[in-house]
């Protein structure tokens, strides 16, 4: 518990730096909020009135002070494009982004880890070559291109998937919100029709993100397994007469998981960033598309709320990765 509190306390300067940098960047970006919302035919007096009502005519230190005081009280501001509090909008949209990211990560792990293990065990074989091709393709293809390609093939050409228009099609009703994850909520409500509709909608965007995450996970799994398989204790286990699957799964894989778990934190953070593009391609109502729409409209509050939310998630994610490493590695527990 003490280690958790120390990590959280150490993350406070980082979060403060994120708040300052985000505030300053939103003020120097091209575009004027008051001019955008006043319209192209608005007079200078109207624009000045809007700036005064929004507090944009105040000195920059005073604007930051007001923003910081509101932030301490949990107020992320008001979105000018939707007219709703940013905090409520992020809370409503965050489950959609989290569901998409987690599904993509689970899919990527389910494919990349076995592929990396098989490539390491059979080094130089056709499985090893497939692992290299998949890893190269994953880092080479932009996520928006992969998403558009999947939509073209599986929706437009083959007709196997529904239209990429959000979390559910027009004929499905969202399940009662329990977790905010449509798949889980539909299963909890025993609504298999909605569950199938939600699954059909999430397959293509999750696959797009999973292909992006496959490369680093497969590469680090293969490299870690190769290092462990060449260790002295693996040779001893094999000399003792243990079977190949027992040596690979019981001894090698467990020791190779430490760097894999560590890289999962980075991969998850990359997926949160890639979510922005994937959500726009598939009209996914997450916080990424929300931030992009606000940025286009020069709406500062949602952009600042989005960046701060991502920073908090990144800190919590790294904390979770540290705790998981301690659970896997006894040496980390003794060091703590």
pLDDT tens, residue by residue, 125-169 = 888 788 888 777 777 778 888 888 888 899 888 888 888 888 888
Output DSSP code: residue 169: -
Question: What pTM value is reported for the model?
Answer: 0.81
- Domains, the chain, ranges and CATH? 2-72 (no CATH), 90-335 (1.10.3720.10)
The DSSP line for 42-105 is --HHHHHHHHHHHTTTS-HHHHHHHHHHHHHTT---B-TTT-SBHHHHHHHHHHHHHHHHHHHH
197 contacts: CB under 8 Å, gap ≥ 6:
162, 168, 169, 171, 172
pLDDT tens, residue by residue, 168-224 = 887 778 888 888 888 888 888 888 888 888 898 999 999 988 888 888 888 888 888
Distance CA 23, CA 187 (A): 41
% of the chain with per-residue pLDDT over 90:
2
Rg for the chain (alpha carbons), in Å?
Answer: 24
């Amino acid at each position: 518990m003490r280690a958790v509190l120390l990590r959280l306390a150490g993350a406070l300067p980082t979060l403060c730096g994120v708040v300052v940098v985000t505030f300053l960047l939103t003020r120097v970006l091209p575009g004027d909020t008051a001019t955008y919302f006043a319209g192209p035919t608005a007079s200078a007096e109207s624009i000045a009135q809007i700036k005064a009502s929004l507090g944009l005519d105040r000195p920059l230190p005073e604007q930051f002070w007001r923003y910081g005081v509101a932030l301490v009280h949990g107020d992320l501001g008001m979105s000018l494009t939707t007219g709703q509090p940013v905090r409520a909008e992020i809370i409503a949209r965050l489950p959609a982004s989290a569901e998409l990211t987690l599904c993509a990560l689970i899919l990527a792990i389910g494919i990349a880890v076995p592929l990396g293990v098989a490539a390491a065990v059979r080094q130089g074989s056709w499985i090893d070559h497939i692992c290299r091709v998949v890893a190269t393709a994953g880092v080479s293809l932009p996520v928006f291109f992969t998403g558009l390609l999947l939509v073209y093939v599986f929706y437009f050409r083959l007709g196997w998937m529904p239209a990429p228009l959000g979390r559910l099609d027009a004929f499905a009703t969202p399940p009662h919100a329990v977790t905010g994850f449509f798949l889980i909520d539909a299963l909890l409500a025993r609504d298999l029709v909605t569950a199938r509709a939600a699954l059909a909608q999430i397959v293509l965007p999750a696959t797009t993100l999973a292909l992006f995450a496959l490369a680093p996970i497969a590469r680090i799994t293969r490299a870690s397994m190769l290092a462990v398989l060449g260790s002295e204790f693996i040779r001893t286990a094999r000399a003792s007469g243990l079977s190949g699957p027992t040596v690979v799964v019981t001894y090698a894989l467990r020791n190779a998981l430490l760097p894999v778990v560590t890289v999962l934190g980075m991969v998850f953070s990359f997926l949160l960033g890639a979510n922005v593009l994937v959500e726009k391609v598939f009209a996914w109502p997450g916080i990424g598309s929300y931030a992009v729409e606000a940025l286009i409209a020069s709406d500062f509050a949602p952009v600042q709320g989005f960046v701060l939310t991502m920073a908090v998630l990144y800190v919590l994610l790294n904390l979770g990765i540290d705790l998981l490493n301690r659970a896997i590695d006894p040496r980390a527990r003794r060091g703590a």
